[in-house]
Amino acid sequence: MNSKDQLRKHIRSLRRQLTPYQQQLASESLVNQLRVNDVYQQSESIALYLANDGEISVQPLAQYAWQQGKKLYLPVLNAETGVSLIFKRWLPDSEFEPNRFKIPEPVTDETIEARALDLVCLPLVAFDNQGGRLGMGGGFYDRTFSFTLAESCATPILWGMAHECQEVEAVPKEDWDIPLSSIITDQRWYEVKN
């Protein structure tokens, strides 16, 4: 088992130990930080995710964003490539079907290209305060947003969402890892200087 696998196992265990009440409080704290943020306020097309395996939930943020009339999208495995993501519209009454990882995906033909999103809130397993993100290991987000490494893109803005217990001193990095511009936890906001 390599260091990334060991780190994933350890941090996933920590976040799964959080009680439902702790999860709820963390989620509410997260949305309270985001709703007053200028970048969030100015974003019209936002990609979120459905929490899985102890990830911090962004469901309260979705409820708030729908009330504001924002367009929300969820990541869906790209059937053509099998290794990247597309983003499908998420509405309060969306129907879902599970993907090969048993994660629900919206059933709709309404999609948006990754480049057209204003803001992407990404789940993660571990993070560091330099914007390093350790995901589940599939590389789906890294492949999808690889264009941000080669181009000077103002959007989409990439934010990591996490519990404070997911911070580590340094995430092992690879050349293809996509850095985040901020990490928002239930306790604080980590602004990254890239």
Task: State the binding site for ATP.
Answer: 4-8, 133-141
Contacts 24+ apart (CB under 8 A), 147-153: 147/114, 147/115, 148/178, 149/176, 149/178, 153/115
Q: Residue 192's closest CA among 155, 158, 148?
A: 158
DSSP state of 55: P
Q: Residue 86's closest CA among 116, 125, 130?
A: 116
Can you say which residues are annotated as belonging to the binding site for substrate? 50, 55
- Tell the residue number behind the tokens 């990247």, with chain if given: 84
- Tell the residue number behind the tokens 């929300």, with chain if given: 72
Determine the Cα–Cα distance for residues 120 and 122; give it in Å rounded to an integer.
Answer: 6
* Token pair for 71: 């367009």
